[in-house]
Amino acid sequence: MEGILPLLKPAGLTSHDCVFRLRKILKTKKVGHTGTLDPDVTGVLPICIGKATKVAEYITDAGKAYEGEVTIGYTTTTEDASGETVAREPVTRVIHREEILQVFQSLTGEIEQTPPMFSAVKVGGVRLYEYARKGIEVERPTRKITIYSIELLDDRNEFSGETIKFKFKVSCSKGTYIRTLAVMIGEMLGYPAHMSYLQRVQSASYSLEDCLTFDEIEEHMEAGTISSVLRPLESALSHLPKLIINDKVAEKVKNGALLQMPEHLKTSNGPIIAETEDGMALAIYAKHPNKPDLFKPVKVLRNDLDEKGTV
């Protein structure tokens, strides 16, 4: 079994829980997820199966989109609705739509974030949430992330009340904490805030419309039609530039050969997909560190041993 299975992750499960359950349903051990989603968060979680586990990191590195809700008026230990309230300040003024849009504009582009204590980021080899559960506060590394766009999904012009809620949609780079973004939005409006709801609506090229529930996956397994809903390994790499190769070069690629850099890819700094003329991805290449006119293989995806079933 090989391919990408876009899972509609339910609330209450970690990403690892989803993998564990799918290993049982699919009756295969070679299953991996493409980046953690908090237990309360629902939505798109692409699952890599078989040989497709080789490309999991490229889905993780691609952009994501979320729809969420910010609650203004109090913040929590976890920066989301599951935590305990740590700061409360009732909203005493009307917040206007234009203010929120200005905040969104100022947060668009490359910004810095400090990961929350309840997160999987490691400091000193230990996950931050492990420190947090013991009540230990540690210095956290600030990281640069990119917000491509933020859209207000509420059509009101004025927001009032002791607590204020509004929904938004954000497209962002990997490593973005939407919980922290919600807190930042509140701070810029002058009040404590937290993220009260979140759903991932897109991950790389996979959207909510592509996703299947656990029940639907089980039905396909029972009917013997699971292969019909698996996305090809190549779908995980569709956002990357491609180098189309002929059959002769393909044999060399399968064995990890260096490749001459074509003119149209000389400005590419990231990974390149070596793909056959019929659309099969064979390997992932990158610029050679010492030979500027050559690409070197980073990861061979398919080779003759794979095809013979001996690997």
Q: 298 with 196, same domain?
A: no
Q: Which residues form the domain of 109?
A: 64-203
What is the per-residue pLDDT for 217? 97
**Distance from C-alpha of 74 to C-alpha of 207, rounded to nearest angstrom:** 32
Q: 195 with 69, same domain?
A: yes
Q: 132 with 231, same domain?
A: no
**Residue 299's beta-bridge partner residues?**
284
What is the per-residue pLDDT for 304? 57
Number of domains in the chain: 3
What is the per-residue pLDDT for 310? 35
**Residue 294's beta-bridge partner residues?**
260
What is the per-residue pLDDT for 309? 38
Contact partners, residue 8, CB within 8 Å, separation at least 6: 42, 43, 44, 45, 208, 211, 212, 213
Q: 96 with 170, same domain?
A: yes
Average pLDDT per block of 10 residues along the chain, 311 residues long: 94 92 94 86 95 90 93 92 90 96 97 73 68 71 92 96 96 92 95 95 94 97 95 91 88 86 80 90 89 87 56 34
Q: 216 with 198, same domain?
A: no
What is the per-residue pLDDT for 311? 34
**What global pTM score does this model have?**
0.86
Other Cβ atoms within 10 Å of 189 Cβ, number: 19
CATH code, 38: 3.30.2350.10
Other Cβ atoms within 10 Å of 21 Cβ, number: 16
What is the per-residue pLDDT for 263? 80
Among 17, 38, 154, 155, the active-site one is 38
Q: 255 with 208, same domain?
A: no
Is 247 part of the annotated catalytic residue set?
Answer: no
